[in-house]
Homo-oligomer: A and B are copies of this chain.
């Protein structure tokens, strides 16, 4: 076995990630992935057997990257307000590093809703129970207005995720160019957290 073995597999995954995340499962071509990885198309099948299996490998890797981001807000042991500030700030850095990733996951999950079941089996699958208790505790202590952990979680995610997923749409509505839109996103790094906190603080 040559030393290239893992190298090739990694290069395939990297190329597949790029193509799949930008064009989706249906819009991606095995040939394009092979070209981008600089190898023969047959290698894709040698290492991953089929387009579907290659896709699932890429998808799982993508999800593995996203999960730790969510752990920050779900499992960490910090004060609720700091948590919201911390997540909002770090999520934006994450998206800059992986621009297509959240959209990719959401999109493919829409086309294949049962994927989530297989993901849940993983030990690192994010769990909201701890966060729910924390929110409930803050409500009981009179720190924040009554709100369920679920709804607060949905709100935090929505405010952080959609502006990136729907960037072209918002750019159109707001009539701003890429640079101006990036400035808006930069502003959100702090503003979104305060927006949320203002809403729930008593």
List the interface of chain A (C-beta within 8 A of B).
23-27, 70, 103, 105-107, 109-111, 113, 115-117, 119-120, 125-128, 145, 147, 150-151, 153-155, 157-159, 161-163, 165-176, 184, 187-188, 191-192, 195-196, 198-200
Bound CA–CA A158/B186 (angstroms): 16
A155 touches B195 (CB 8 A): yes
Q: How many copies does the complex hold?
A: 2
Could you say which residues of chain B place their CB within 8 Å of the CB of A116? 168-169, 171-172
Q: Known A159-B159, A162-B157; judge A169-B106 contact (CB<8 A).
A: yes
21 example contacts (A-B, Cβ-Cβ < 8 A) are as follows A23-B26, A24-B26, A26-B26, A70-B173, A105-B169, A109-B166, A109-B168, A110-B168, A116-B168, A117-B172, A128-B174, A147-B191, A151-B188, A155-B192, A155-B195, A158-B159, A158-B162, A159-B159, A162-B165, A165-B165, A199-B199
Could you say which residues of chain B place their CB within 8 Å of the CB of A157? 162, 166, 170
Could you say which residues of chain B place their CB within 8 Å of the CB of A169? 105-106, 109, 116
Q: Which listed residue, B107, B175, B200, touches A198 by the CB 8 Å rule?
A: B200
Q: Which listed residue, B26, B127, B172, touches A119 by the CB 8 Å rule?
A: B172
In chain B, what residue has the closest Cβ to A166? B106
In chain B, what residue has the closest Cβ to A108? B168
Q: Known A26-B27, A169-B109; judge A153-B174 contact (CB<8 A).
A: yes
Q: List the 4 closest pairs (A to B, CB-CB), nearest first.
A: A26-B27, A199-B199, A116-B172, A158-B162
B111 touches A175 (CB 8 A): no
Given contacts A106-B169, A113-B171, 16 further A-B contacts (CB under 8 A): A103-B110, A106-B166, A106-B168, A109-B168, A109-B172, A110-B167, A125-B172, A126-B173, A127-B175, A151-B187, A154-B184, A154-B188, A157-B162, A158-B161, A198-B199, A198-B200
